[in-house]
Amino acid sequence: MLDEIQKRLLREIADLHTVPSGAYNIRSNSKLEARNTTANIDIVSKTEKSGIDIYIKPGTKNESVHIPVVLSESGLKETVYNDFHIGEDCDVVIVAGCGINNCGTGDSEHDGVHRFIVGKNSKVKYVEKHYGEGDGRGKRILNPVTEVYQEEGSSVEMEMVQIKGVDSTVRTTLSKLEKGAKLVVRERLLTHGSQTAVSNYTTELNGEGSSADVVSRSVAKEDSYQKFVSRIVGNAPCTGHTECDAIIMNNARILAVPELEANDLDASLIHEAAIGKIAGEQIIKLETLGLTEQEAEEQIVNGFLK
């Protein structure tokens, strides 16, 4: 049974109030807590290493898979491999996420390696949320690796969210797109305290007519550090756009590194990056509505990350 802390972590990362409908695999403190499969979606534990294989039958529409992970014991370290095999012509939503509560002194670390093989013309929405809490001295560490292989005509939308609570993350995301495939990435990140967060996106546009739009919106507060590297490689006639839009506060530091590589005359690639503090006039405007300076900052940050 899940205790209250574990339930709360689940709520934060997967908006799950009860067990989800559809397929799911809930992992808690390195053990399988609950699993459900459906006629179209099968989940099988790996034998040679920890993790699962998720098989989604061709033509599966309007189904969802939830694979939350919660860690509430201090000092746990794990690496988990989850492979998604998505057939042709599917339309599915996949929700992953990791919540860590570390009240102890040992560091807790979860490294999830997620691999997606997206079949022809399939549509996938992938949501990944990270959340950490607990006031122990032990660190909360997450290092997710995501690999996405998109076959012809497929489309993937990834929403990556990490709001506070995680001390250290290195997020590595590699995508390879074939003909006509489309990728949209929306990252939202808030760091505070002395947290560090590094995001490395590499997107290879290998097929004619493929496209990618990789956008990060982030806020770095206090003494935190963020690094955002987004590399788009155009190996065919394709379109790519990447953008980093960041608010910096207090003593925080942000490094944004957009990289574009065009290896085809008809590759059209764009990058944009903007980093700055909250505009003084925005705070003043909200103060004229009766908010205090601190309330104004909160509203501006909340809106920005919405």
Partner 1 sequence: MLELKNLSFKVIDETGNEKTIIDDVSFTVKDDSFVVITGPNGSGKSTLARLIMGIEKPSAGRIFFDGEDITDKSITERANMGISFALQQPVKFKGIQVIDLLRLAAKKNLTVSQACEYLSFVGLCARDYVNREVNASLSGGELKRIEIATLLARNTKLSVFDEPEAGIDLWSFQSLNRVFENMRMDTKGSILIISHQERILNIADEIIILSGGKIIQSGAKDDILPSLLKDSTQAACSVLEGRA
User: What is the C-alpha to C-alpha distance for residues 239 and 208, in angstroms, rounded to an integer?
Assistant: 9
- How far apart are CB 282 and partner 1 at their closest, in Å? 5
What single letter denotes the amino acid at residue 196? T
User: What is the C-alpha to C-alpha distance for residues 149 and 143, in angstroms, rounded to an integer?
Assistant: 20
Select 77 or 285, whichever has its Cβ closest to partner 1. Answer: 285
- How far apart are CB 49 and partner 1 at their closest, in Å? 41
Tell me which H or E stretch contains 1: none
CA-to-CA separations, 35 to 32, 55, 82, 93, 256, in angstroms, rounded: 8, 14, 14, 17, 40
User: What is the C-alpha to C-alpha distance for residues 294 and 252, in angstroms, rounded to an integer?
Assistant: 17
Select 49 or 306, whichever has its Cβ closest to partner 1. Answer: 306
Q: Where do we find the tokens 């529409």?
A: 61
- How far apart are CB 288 and partner 1 at their closest, in Å? 5
Select 76 or 300, whichever has its Cβ closest to partner 1. Answer: 300
Contact, 36 vs 21, CB < 8 A? Answer: no
Distance from the first to the final alpha carbon of the chain:
33
Select 92 or 296, whichever has its Cβ closest to partner 1. Answer: 296
- How far apart are CB 294 and partner 1 at their closest, in Å? 10
Select 155 or 191, whichever has its Cβ closest to partner 1. Answer: 191
Select 21 or 292, whichever has its Cβ closest to partner 1. Answer: 292
Select 44 or 274, whichever has its Cβ closest to partner 1. Answer: 274
User: What is the C-alpha to C-alpha distance for residues 78 and 92, in angstroms, rounded to an integer?
Assistant: 27
- How far apart are CB 245 and partner 1 at their closest, in Å? 7
- How far apart are CB 186 and partner 1 at their closest, in Å? 12
Select 63 or 297, whichever has its Cβ closest to partner 1. Answer: 297
Given the rule CB under 8 A, which residues bind partner 1?
Answer: 217, 245, 279, 281-282, 284-293, 299-300, 302-306
User: What is the C-alpha to C-alpha distance for residues 104 and 139, in angstroms, rounded to an integer?
Assistant: 9
- How far apart are CB 290 and partner 1 at their closest, in Å? 4
Which is it for the CA torsion 203, 204, 207, 209, positive or negative? positive
User: What is the C-alpha to C-alpha distance for residues 253 and 250, in angstroms, rounded to an integer?
Assistant: 9
User: What is the C-alpha to C-alpha distance for residues 45 and 111, in angstroms, rounded to an integer?
Assistant: 17
User: What is the C-alpha to C-alpha distance for residues 239 and 210, in angstroms, rounded to an integer?
Assistant: 7
User: What is the C-alpha to C-alpha distance for residues 233 and 207, in angstroms, rounded to an integer?
Assistant: 11
- How far apart are CB 158 and partner 1 at their closest, in Å? 19
